[in-house]
Amino acid sequence: MAYGGYGGSGGGSGRPKRRFQPSRRNVIIVTVAAAIFVFLISTDRINRFEIIYFLVLIPSIILHEISHGVVALAFGDDTAKKAGRLTLNPLAHVDPVGTLLVPAVLSLSGIGAYGWAKPVPVNTNRLRSPRNHTVIVSLVGPLTNFALAALMGFLFVLTTPQVIRQIVYSGGYYPPTLLGQVIFLAGIANIVLGVFNLIPCPPLDGASVLERFIPARSLPEYYRLQPFLMFLPLILILVFRNEWTLLLDHVIHWWSGLLV
């Protein structure tokens, strides 16, 4: 997902940090998500491959978000660093809705799991070239996922005999070993995340390209509209489910073909 950009002056505060206290809302969301996953597993609605996919999806989402903050830091904004978001600790990035509840509900619906982590805070005014660097900071997220997919593909080729890779590609089967399954599904998860986040619709990263062409005087109105578009990409996927599935099938098939 797009990072949590804002245009204020930012800056640190001298107030001491309060100890993290989970809100009642978050506790309810986590409980509901856990209950859905327990239901799916106990009723055999999801198999081991879907469970592995979900487990590799979470770190892929987190690395996606971290990349936003790292590139923003390189362009002059240290907001994410000061917020403690340039860390691999999943607790700093997990969003109860996007990382747990939405994937759980989508798994229940049978259309596959998608999600997001807590957006990384970025102060666009601190970027050396705000409008141009904002696009780069946004697009580095899906580019990170595509780079991870390439890495997983390379590892899959190294660890899996060619005859097995050909069977996986031609027959639609999963690799026989747990290591092969984790690597292969991690590659697919990153391909899906990369394509998903390139949808040119707020709040996804692809919207940054459209935003670049919006006149500066109209940006305040655009930013006020963004919160109301949070779930629009998921709605579009549900409405155009067949087209979305066909697109992902083509991309995954192309990626799998490179591994043979």
Given the residues 65, 211, 221, 243, the one annotated as active site:
65
Phi-psi bin for 110: left (phi > 0), alpha (psi -120 to 50), beta?
left
Residue 223 carries which DSSP code? H
User: What is the DSSP-derived secondary structure letter of residue 122?
Assistant: E
65 included as an active-site residue: yes
Three-state DSSP class for 5?
strand
In the block, residue with structure tokens 């919207």? 207
For residues 25 and 230, what is the distance between their CA atoms, to the nearest angstrom?
Answer: 18
Cα dist from 95 to 87, 100, 220, whole Å: 15, 7, 26
Pairing of strands 4-6, 121-123: parallel
Neighbours of 99 (CB within 10 A): 22
Residues in contact with 125: Cβ distance below 8 Å, sequence separation at least 6, in sequence order = 7, 8, 9, 10
- Looking at residue 105, its amino acid is V
The residue behind tokens 């997919």 is 149
Residues with catalytic function: 65
